[in-house]
Structure 1
Amino acid sequence: MGVPALPPKDRRQIGNSADDSTARPASTLDAVDRRLLELLQTEGRITLSELGRRVNLSPAAVGERVRRLESDGTVTGYTAQVDPTRLGYTLQAFVRIAPHTRMTVKHLRSRELLHRPEILEVHHVIGEDCWIFKLAARDTTHLEELIDLLSTLGRTTTSLLLSSPLPPPPPPPLAATTGGPLRARAGNRPSKASGQRLGPPLSGSSLSRDLCRLSRQ
């Protein structure tokens, strides 16, 4: 349908969007830029002075680099992570939608739903279901109301979120020469004591088959 995924709501935008044609490719980011991006993603409230100390630059030099990353669309915004349960939302769910014919997120009925505060994320995907909504609800009655509203867009399949043992990590900047991640996440590093080895990378098709097999168990 050609509709891009929508980012989480209420993200404060800075400068150009990340998909703007003026955004710099990863190959133009040097080692200092990559380190700054890593720090900004994991410690959003870090000061320019501390950033400078971490990368061995003056606060003025670091500030100029950060402003350049903001203005060219590499850094798209800063946000606070809030626990939904503290706001009264005790349930979260993913709702997959196979939309009715000619129904897209540009449709008037869809746009009205997108502005509801309970809709946290909307993604346009390839597969049997075209959309994935992430919802927050007070209770099962509230969740049922939201599902009823979404069912006007198409056939729905709902998965209740029980827990998130692995919070979404910030993506590591890609290496300029190989196109791969600059380094592996610490949690995925094999233990020398155990002799564990990393297997070959999964292709997209094999990963999809594995996920489908797990979902049926």
Structure 2
Amino acid sequence: MKTAGDLLHISGDMTEAAKSLDQKLLDLLGRNARMSVTELAGKLKLARSTVQARIEKLERNGTIAGYTLKHGVVPGRAVSAHVSIRVRPNGQGDVERKLAKLDGVRTLYSTSGLHDLIAIVAAASTAKLDETIDAIRAIDGVTETVSAILLSTKLER
């Protein structure tokens, strides 16, 4: 099992391993915020104390607030976009299942109007964002996408 000491330099700077751990931890909590520290440790193959220390750090720095992930502050996900998606008739269920498997798709909404779905996509770079949007377009049943990169948050409650 890895410990917190294995993940940090003596200087206290975050290593890539620690950033990756935080991302995996936040992904798991984003899917199920009620998961116990023991369950999280098991899924991450880490000591319970290491996971507890990372959660406490994320609480202190404001990334985890009331066990709701704040948009735009997930480590390793610097660029976000709203992707409006039009789906072929009777194909929405299959498209939703395939979208749920894409790592960059953080949230998926069903909508009324011109588009059937809106995906909130997050990536480490515009190149990675582009790859995720290309993957969305490649899904059988997706007939159109319209993307808008998020520049800044003006209000979040």
TM-score, normalising length: structure 2: 0.53
Select which of 119, 124, 143 maps to 1:133: 119
Say whether the 8 Å CA contact 2:83–2:145 is kept in structure 1: yes
Q: Cα distance 1:83–1:127, how it changes in 2: closer, same or farther (>3 A)?
A: closer
Structure of larger gyration radius: 1
1:121 match: 107
Q: Does 1:12 align with 2:33?
A: yes
1:79 match: 67
Write 1 or 2 for the structure with the bigger share of strand.
2
Say whether the 8 Å CA contact 1:121–1:133 is kept in structure 2: yes
Select which of 147, 168, 192 maps to 2:133: 147
Identity of aligned residues (%): 21
Can you list the C-alpha shifts for 1:25-55, whole angstroms capped at 9, x where unaligned?
xxxxxxxxxxxxxxxxxxxx9xxxxxxxxxx
Q: CA RMSD in A?
A: 2.7
Say whether the 8 Å CA contact 2:81–2:149 is kept in structure 1: yes
Instruction: Letter of the 1:110 partner, please give it.
Output: E
Partner SS for 2:31: coil
Length, aligned pairs only: 97
Shift of 1:112: 2.9
Q: Cα distance 1:123–1:83, how it changes in 2: closer, same or farther (>3 A)?
A: closer
* Consecutive unaligned residues in structure 2, runs of 5 or more: 1-28, 36-58, 60-65
Alignment of 1:65-214 (within 5 A): 79-82=67-70, 84-85=72-73, 87-104=75-92, 106-107=93-94, 109-151=95-137, 152=139, 153-167=142-156, 169=157
TM-score, normalising length: structure 1: 0.39
